[in-house]
Amino acid sequence: MNERILHQDVQEYITNHLKSDLHKLILKGIPFNGVTIQEIANQILCKQKSEKKLPSWFNAKNIYYPPKGSIEQTSSETAANYKASLVSGKRLLDLTG
């Protein structure tokens, strides 16, 4: 995990480029040391995907998003809340794989 992603200047860059063309952004490069354009592009892409799927993440500050595949495979926040309402207790074992 590259903690440089969580610095305010990098977070602002990610937020400011949510509507940018990622291909052009990758070719242009980034104005930061200690973080790669691939890391920035992944953060932008995952934040874009989380807007509808994980709105609490999208609206939170300083989120370090996991790889794109993890965001794509996760349940939506709505589905997770529904599933959580189906069970009670302090422990749960997920055997779904």
Pairwise CA distance, residues 19 & 47, whole Å: 11
Which is higher by pLDDT, 40 or 84?
A: 40
Q: Domain for residue 23, yes or no?
A: yes
**CATH code: domain of residue 68:** 1.10.10
Per-residue model confidence (pLDDT) at position 29: 86
Residue with the two structure tokens 């790669």: 36
Q: Would you place residue 90 in the very low, low, confident or very high pLDDT band (cuts 50, 70, 90)?
A: confident
In this predicted structure, what is the pLDDT of residue 92? 79
Q: Note the pTM of the prediction, 2 decimals.
A: 0.84
Residue 35 located in a structural domain: yes
The torsion angle over the Cα atoms of residues 9, 15, 18 and 21, rounded to 10 degrees, is: -10
Mean pLDDT throughout 57-73? Answer: 93
Q: Is residue 50 part of a domain?
A: yes
Which tokens sit at 33? 């040391």
Residue 85 placed within a domain: no
Domain count, the chain: 1
Whether 13 maps to a domain, the answer reads yes
Q: What is the DSSP letter of 17?
A: T
Q: What is the pLDDT of residue 21?
A: 94
Domain span holding position 44: 3-73
